Amino acid sequence: MRPLILHDYPGSGNCYKARLTAALLGLPLERRVYDMLGGKTRTEDFLGTVNNNGRVPVLQVADRYLPESNAICLYLAEGSRLIPADPLDRADMYRWMFFEQNGHEPHIATLRLWLGYVGEANLSDAQRAQVPAKRHSGEDALRVMNEHLAARDWFAGNALSLADIALYAYTHVAEEGGFALDPYPHVRAWLARIAATPGYIALRD
Amino acid sequence: MRPLILHDYPGSGNCYKARLTAALLGLPLERRVYDMLGGKTRTEDFLGTVNNNGRVPVLQVADRYLPESNAICLYLAEGSRLIPADPLDRADMYRWMFFEQNGHEPHIATLRLWLGYVGEANLSDAQRAQVPAKRHSGEDALRVMNEHLAARDWFAGNALSLADIALYAYTHVAEEGGFALDPYPHVRAWLARIAATPGYIALRD
């Protein structure tokens, strides 16, 4: 396999998805770390070469650059046990990965960034105005997850898949954004199952 | 193939993605239409059976229910020409499908719903407070798309793929949410290419 370079930010849950996927599969990743909060993913060079969307993670494969955390995980895990073989189970995996990017990350990850990293006092008026809606939507995402996990151990199929990795990344640090996980016992049990998986690495390893 | 039932709302771009994918591939879909704005995807029966996230589209395959528009497209198009064969091109397709759900749909589709369907006068204070941020992020998504299309005809690989279908759904009606497409000539040329594809159907067919 060609060498894989991850353009990375250590505190980012999206970057962590790629590192956790690679760790579980035993794939070596070379890391290039950016000071994201210091604007280093918004420089002219970064925008022109790595990602014109100004974000990490980006996976570099030779001269190709692949943004979007869940797309990176799908590329890394192609043909592995982290992708269910059955077409409908695989579709379920995609379902939860899209749910994560649409119904979970914009609320739970954003409040973690704003409240846990930027700081409430430093938010713009436009950001502060969005907090209540993001709080409500984030709690709804946790409810949907908890209900789904009531009768099953993993999100798709009968084993850990990329759906679990995608949703784990920001759920296990949701409290940094002010989300209490006490009301979601099935989510908490599932978080513990993932952390007990052989090959697991922590966000800040 | 088992009969495919689409739980559907005619004006929804997300539902349209599934119908357009099926039409381009010649797959028959049986439609079950819900009055989404009238709350018919939030009934106890719908939440308990079809989707506990209270949304359409949902693809029903026998007794299995698959939510999330892009997951439905991936299931319908498995093994078809709408998914690039090369692994990195396929990863690029995923990239743009996740970008659509994270960086495009929450802004462009939501403003279309709020301003074009619900009506500005009927928005809650929490919704109204989010409009400027969604306007800004939606315009940034159109910029990113326009730059990507400057040197290529399609989002991933060298042919129309699910990435184009996913991004087409709400881009081609972005003006209903108050987004002007004049500043994005490469986007407009790409919209015309998709509408000229054999088998194409319109959103409100």
Kindly give, in sequence order, each residue whose CB lies less than 8 Å from that of residue A159, ignoring residues fewer than 6 positions away.
A81, A84
Measured between CA atoms, how close is B39 to chain A, in angstroms?
A: 17
A69-81 pLDDT tens trace: 999 999 999 999 9
SS (H, E, C) A82-106: CCCCCHHHHHHHHHHHHHHHHHHHH
Q: Is the CB of A95 less than 8 angstroms away from the CB of B144?
A: no
Q: What is the pLDDT of residue B129?
A: 87
Q: How far apart are CA B53 and CA B39, in angstroms?
A: 13
Q: What is the pLDDT of residue A200?
A: 98
Measured between CA atoms, how close is A145 to chain B, in angstroms?
A: 10
B17-29 pLDDT tens trace: 999 999 999 999 9
Beta strands in B9-132 (DSSP E): 30-33, 58-61, 64-67
Picking from B37, B166, B41, B55, the residue whose alpha carbon sits closest to that of residue B102 is B166
Mean pLDDT to the nearest integer, B76-100? 98
**Is residue B59 helix, strand or coil?**
strand
Name residues of chain A where pLDDT drops below 70: 1
Q: What is the pLDDT of residue A24?
A: 98
Q: What is the pLDDT of residue A71?
A: 98
Q: In what order do the strands lie in the sheet with B4-8?
A: B30-33, B4-8, B58-61, B64-67
Q: What is the pLDDT of residue A26?
A: 97
Pick the more confident residue, B1 or B95: B95
Q: How far apart are CA A143 and CA A159, in angstroms?
A: 21
Amino acid at B52: N
- Please give the residue of chain A at the shortest CA–CA distance from B61: A88
B122-163 pLDDT tens trace: 999 889 988 999 999 999 999 999 999 999 999 999 999 999
Q: How far apart are CA A21 and CA A148, in angstroms?
A: 23
Q: Is the CB of B69 less than 8 angstroms away from the CB of A98?
A: yes
Residues 90-109 of chain B with CB under 8 A from chain A are 91-92, 94-99, 101-103, 105-106
Q: What is the pLDDT of residue B1?
A: 59
Residue A4 and residue A30 in contact, taking contact as beta carbons nearer than 8 Å: yes
Measured between CA atoms, how close is B53 to chain A, in angstroms?
A: 6
Picking from B98, B86, B80, B84, the residue whose alpha carbon sits closest to that of residue B21 is B80
- Please give the residue of chain A at the shortest CA–CA distance from B133: A126
Q: What is the pLDDT of residue B66?
A: 98
Q: What is the pLDDT of residue B3?
A: 87
Residue A66 and residue A51 in contact, taking contact as beta carbons nearer than 8 Å: no
Q: Does residue B205 register a pLDDT over 90?
A: no
ipTM of model over 0.90:
yes
